[in-house]
Chain A
């Protein structure tokens, strides 16, 4: 639908476009081609560069801003890392401290439990058997023997009979004559022969019982007999319930509210 003008040139837009598309090596066509090639080349290169690179295509101000951001972020993260490090150290210290305190408390509870008779105990010690064929052994004699053993450093003591009841002996233990050749220990009735089982230094304990005028002497004068055997391991399993104190409370220590 191109219309030809008087000079044989198309006058409508489309006609001119079609005319221009017709290949002819005029100077204008060649120059336009070169410039278009340049444009295409530059555009393609730029598109490819933009796709390839994240940072290299940015201008200096943008790079500086990004660098600032990164630096600031690094500083922030470092500060955070320091805080966390500090917190971790604190927690570790606290944990170690409380663990040590718990261990200390447990150890103390074990010691006190042995002393109070609420825990079984084992260790070197002696067995001290008192036979009483004549019924001469009274609570006094047994108490003397017990005091002697305590003086000699007995740490855990059990009083019983070789095949009968056994009673853990602690600070509050009471020895009472029950008559009829029997002794009541903390409410438990024991009859001869009596046997002390003691944890402590075996040599010291034996020597304490064996001193002249001591327990063994007294027993033999009364016609009864004491037999001491040292043992590498004495295990005391009889226990004593520790009553909860009804009135006494732990007093605050100095400087401790």
Chain B
């Protein structure tokens, strides 16, 4: 409940404060968001599985974001930033889909 409220609060704050994304953060923010989304779905699945652990959630959240940003950074340095970003998004997307499928099975038993 509090987590859902926090998500809502963050969205509202982002929409109304209209902060400018710093230039150094611009390439990493979208990938980081997707990675965090993956962590969020993973956390939700583990909650439904009954194995949710806040420490694991925090670590996976931060690690996901950092690794995604690192991959993008590395790709930019190697000159394949765009392709690597696409790859990361594809992988995270697959994970999100599988997590969403597990959640769906839990909630609807189908």
Chain B nearest CB, measured from A152 CB (Å): 96
Contact of B29 with A34 in the complex, beta carbons under 8 Å: no
Q: Decide yes or no: A44 and B106 within 8 Å by CB, A30-B2, A31-B54, A36-B4 being known contacts.
A: no
**Which residues of B line the A interface, CB within 8 A?**
1-15, 18-21, 23, 26-27, 29-30, 32-33, 36-37, 39-40, 43, 47-50, 52-54, 57-58, 61, 76, 79, 81-82, 103, 105-107
Q: Decide yes or no: A14 and B107 within 8 Å by CB, A29-B1, A43-B33, A44-B15 being known contacts.
A: yes
Contact of B27 with A59 in the complex, beta carbons under 8 Å: yes
- The residue that B14 contacts in the complex, of A13, A25, A29, A40, with Cβ under 8 A, is A40
- The residue that A37 contacts in the complex, of B9, B32, B50, with Cβ under 8 A, is B9
Instruction: Specify which chain A residues have a CB less than 8 angstroms from the CB of B21 in the assembled complex.
Output: 45-46, 49
**Counting chain A CB atoms within 10 Å of each CB, which of B1, B14, B30, B32 scores highest?**
B14
Contact of A39 with B10 in the complex, beta carbons under 8 Å: yes
**Counting chain A CB atoms within 10 Å of each CB, which of B2, B9, B36 scores highest?**
B2
Contact of B4 with A21 in the complex, beta carbons under 8 Å: yes
Instruction: Specify which chain A residues have a CB less than 8 angstroms from the CB of B3 in the assembled complex.
Output: 20, 29, 32-33, 35-36
Which residue of B has the minimal Cβ distance to A14?
B107
Does chain B have a CB within 8 A of A256?
Answer: no
Instruction: Specify which chain A residues have a CB less than 8 angstroms from the CB of B37 in the assembled complex.
Output: 39, 43
- The residue that A45 contacts in the complex, of B19, B40, B43, B103, with Cβ under 8 A, is B19
Contact of A46 with B58 in the complex, beta carbons under 8 Å: no
Q: How many interface residues does chain A have, given as a range?
A: 35 or more
Instruction: Specify which chain A residues have a CB less than 8 angstroms from the CB of B54 in the assembled complex.
Output: 26-29, 31-32
Query: What 6 pairs between A and B have smallest CB-CB spacing?
Result: A44-B14, A40-B10, A13-B106, A28-B54, A33-B6, A37-B10
Contact of B81 with A16 in the complex, beta carbons under 8 Å: no
Contact of A43 with B11 in the complex, beta carbons under 8 Å: yes
Interface bits A2-20 vs B (CB < 8 Å: 1, else 0) = 0000000101111011001
The CA-CA distance from A29 to B1 in the complex, in Å, is: 8
**Counting chain B CB atoms within 10 Å of each CB, which of A9, A21, A27, A32 scores highest?**
A32
Can you offer 28 A-B residue contacts whose CB atoms are under 8 A?
A9-B50, A13-B103, A13-B105, A14-B106, A16-B50, A20-B3, A20-B47, A20-B52, A22-B1, A25-B2, A30-B2, A32-B3, A32-B54, A33-B5, A33-B7, A35-B3, A35-B6, A36-B4, A37-B7, A39-B40, A40-B13, A42-B32, A43-B33, A48-B14, A49-B21, A59-B81, A60-B76, A61-B82
Instruction: Specify which chain A residues have a CB less than 8 angstroms from the CB of B49 in the assembled complex.
Output: 13
Contact of A36 with B106 in the complex, beta carbons under 8 Å: no
Instruction: Specify which chain A residues have a CB less than 8 angstroms from the CB of B58 in the assembled complex.
Output: 31, 35
Which residue of A has the minimal Cβ distance to B19?
A45
Does chain B have a CB within 8 A of A23?
Answer: yes
Chain B nearest CB, measured from A125 CB (Å): 92
Contact of B14 with A36 in the complex, beta carbons under 8 Å: no
Which residue of A has the minimal Cβ distance to B61?
A35
